[in-house]
């Protein structure tokens, strides 16, 4: 049978390819990892077993960390925890996003909350030239949907919430993330946006490569930086 294997962030640096279809007789993902280790060698094995820079990798089988069973056509994704609605393959047009979102307000809405994430020009005392984002799109869009439904249930005053994330190369000062909320009162809107930002940062399938004056760093597991070899 054949399974689709996808690699992200520093895992892709080891394999040299973002994805491949693998012919295998393996019935479970552990067997498949052994097969891939024979192909990619010691670096791949150490990455799977020990992680890199203190960051362990995650393996999804058909979108789940619980499933280990493989079938013909299964999709296996191997990636570090992410750094972090709609995925936009360009800079976010914040004015357009705000206008479109506000057009959804109803008479019960009394508060509008916006968080905009901007690329920093300096990190750890080093100049940042650009951030290059990549995403496991199918997984991320599903997580955005789950995050929004979870927050609407948790905060009764939350009327609507939306998440936008840019996936491209961005320069310092550009907007890459927007989280917007409409609520009956300000408290639920503010808390929902704060929680949404953390959930996007830690649980979605988005990674960034930070290009700066002392090299390139994968930003994973929140704000952990792993230098690219």
pLDDT tens for the 229 residues of the chain, in order? 999 999 988 899 999 999 999 999 999 999 999 999 999 998 998 888 888 776 778 898 988 777 889 999 999 999 886 655 567 777 788 998 999 899 989 999 999 999 999 999 999 999 999 999 988 888 888 889 899 999 999 999 999 999 999 988 999 999 999 999 999 999 999 999 999 999 998 888 888 999 999 999 998 766 788 888 7
Domain ranges in the chain with CATH number 3.90.1170.40:
86-227
Neighbours of 66 (CB within 10 A): 6
pLDDT value of position 56:
76
Q: Considering the chain, what is the average pLDDT of its residues?
A: 90
Rounded-to-integer distance, Cα 58 and Cα 172, Å: 30
pLDDT value of position 85:
54
Any idea how long the chain is? 229
pLDDT value of position 222:
67
Domain ranges in the chain with CATH number 3.10.20.30:
2-79
pTM over 0.75: no
Cβ pair 192, 155 in contact under 8 A = yes
Rounded-to-integer distance, Cα 82 and Cα 197, Å: 13
CATH number of 2-79: 3.10.20.30
Rounded-to-integer distance, Cα 188 and Cα 45, Å: 45
Tell which residue, 151, 150, 206, has the closest CA to residue 177: 206
pLDDT value of position 179:
97
Cβ pair 149, 158 in contact under 8 A = no
For 12, 172, 206, the CA distances from 77, given in Å and listed in that order, are 11, 30, 13
pLDDT value of position 63:
80
CATH 3.90.1170.40 for the 86-227 domain, yes or no = yes
């Amino acid at each position: 049978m054949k399974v689709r294997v996808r690699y992200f962030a520093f895992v892709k640096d080891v394999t040299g390819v973002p994805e491949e279809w693998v012919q295998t007789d393996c019935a479970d993902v552990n067997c498949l990892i052994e097969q891939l280790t024979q192909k990619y060698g010691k670096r791949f094995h150490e990455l799977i077993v020990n992680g890199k820079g203190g960051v362990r990798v995650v393996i999804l089988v058909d979108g789940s960390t619980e499933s280990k069973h493989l079938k013909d056509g299964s999709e296996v994704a191997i990636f570090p925890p992410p750094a972090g609605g709609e995925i936009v393959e360009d800079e976010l047009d914040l004015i357009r996003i705000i206008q479109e979102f506000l057009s959804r307000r109803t008479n019960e809405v009394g508060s509008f909350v916006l968080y905009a994430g901007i690329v920093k020009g300096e990190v750890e005392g080093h100049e940042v030239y650009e951030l290059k984002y990549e995403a496991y799109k199918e997984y991320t869009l599903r997580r955005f949907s789950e995050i929004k439904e979870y927050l609407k249930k948790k905060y009764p005053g939350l009327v609507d919430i939306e998440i936008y994330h840019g996936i491209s190369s961005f320069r310092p000062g550009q907007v890459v993330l927007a989280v917007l909320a409409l609520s009956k009162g300000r408290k639920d809107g503010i808390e929902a946006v704060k929680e949404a930002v953390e959930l996007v940062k830690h649980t979605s399938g988005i990674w960034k490569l930070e290009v700066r004056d002392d090299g390139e760093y994968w930003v994973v597991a929140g704000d952990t930086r792993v230098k690219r070899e």
